[in-house]
Structures are given as structure tokens and as C-alpha cells.
Amino acid sequence: MEIEIIDFQKHGDDRGGLVSLELNNNIPFDIKRVYYIFDTLSDVTRGRHAHKRLRQLTVAVKGSCRFLLDDGNNKLEIVLNCASQGLYIGPGVWREMSDFSDDCVLLVLADDIYDEADYIRDYQQFLDAVNDQQLDG
Ligand code: T46
């Protein structure tokens, strides 16, 4: 499964924390888009899709949430709850986010602009694409 947990260097001191996300240092792709998810309810599930080509890195800069990750053969759950830790998700990985804490702010860096055509939002279509080896990753 094309995923990786990346631990960022903390530059915090007695004034507070600071983490820098930098191309060619701790981000493994050219950043073309940044978005963030907030005001989520604890009983909702988001995601429920895979990407054909998009590479992303997510950081729970505040609070926590759970990621279910699935490459069609294996499933894995990861809880993001640390502002100095990122989750890289490559193409061909189904993701579902749940158990958002009330204060959760999820920052996402992406290697391309928004393109609905890059999404596979139907789980059976995702499995078919994996079996037909149509996905990058
Ligand atoms: C992902 C997870 C982690 C835009 O117009 N521009 C954007 O850049 C994005 C990300 C979304 N949208 C629109 C599309 C939908 O009408 O915002 C609405 C909500 O998007 P979506 O239902 O895809 O949101 P999530 O939280 O289910 O998924 C998002 C990303 O879309 C996805 O790439 O991996 O966060």
C-alpha cells in the first residue's frame, strides 16, 4: 500500500510549537494545492474514495481523526493526532476518515489541483480498477 507516516522536525521552544513543510525536504512531491477540513462532526465519515493519480499528505494540525486505508488487498487503520506527523497517501488507496475530534483541523497538501475525474467514489469500481491494474501506485 502506497502510504507512509512522516515525522516532521519540531522547532518548538518555550514560546510554542513550529513545524515547517518544505518541498524537497519533508514533502515527497511538488505541492500544487492546499486545503483543510474543519468543523467536522464526530459521527460523520468523509472520504470514501480513492484517487487514480493524486498524491497527498495529511496532517491533523489540531485534534485527531481516524483513517481507514485500503489498497483492495489489505486494510489498515491509522489515527492522526499529532501536528508533527504527516500521513502520505499515494494513488490507488481507498480512504475513509472518521472519529473526528470536535477540534479537528485536517491539513492536506496535494500534488495537483482539484479534479473530480481523478476520484473513484464507488468501492466496487475501485476493486475492479485494482484487479485490472488501472491505478498508479
Ligand atoms: C481526500 C480527503 C482526505 C473542491 O471544490 N476542491 C477541493 O480541493 C476539494 C478537496 C474538494 N472540493 C469540493 C468537492 C466536494 O463538493 O468540496 C466538496 C467536498 O469534497 P469531498 O467530499 O471530496 O471531501 P472529503 O473530505 O470526502 O475528501 C477530501 C478530498 O476530496 C480527498 O481528495 O483525499 O479529503
Q: Is the pLDDT confidence value at 42 over 90?
A: no
51 is catalytic: no
- Residue of 33, 46, 49, 66 with catalytic role: 49
Radius of gyration of the chain (CA): 15
Topology adopted by domain 3-131 = Jelly Rolls (2.60.120)
Which residue among 3, 33, 37 has the greatest number of ligand 1 atoms within 8 angstroms of its CB, and so is best to mutate? Answer: 37
Distance (Å) from CA 98 to ligand 1 centroid: 14
Beta carbon of 114 within 6 Å of any ligand 1 atom: yes
% of the chain with per-residue pLDDT over 90: 88
Q: What is the pLDDT of residue 135?
A: 74
Question: Measured from the CB, is residue 63 less than 6 Å from ligand 1?
Answer: no
Contact by Cβ (8 Å): 8, 61: no
Burial class (CB in 10 A: 0-12, 13-18, 19+), 97: buried
3-state secondary structure 50-71: EECCCCEEEEEEECCEEEEEEC
Q: pLDDT by residue (tens digit) across 20-35?
A: 999 888 898 999 999 9
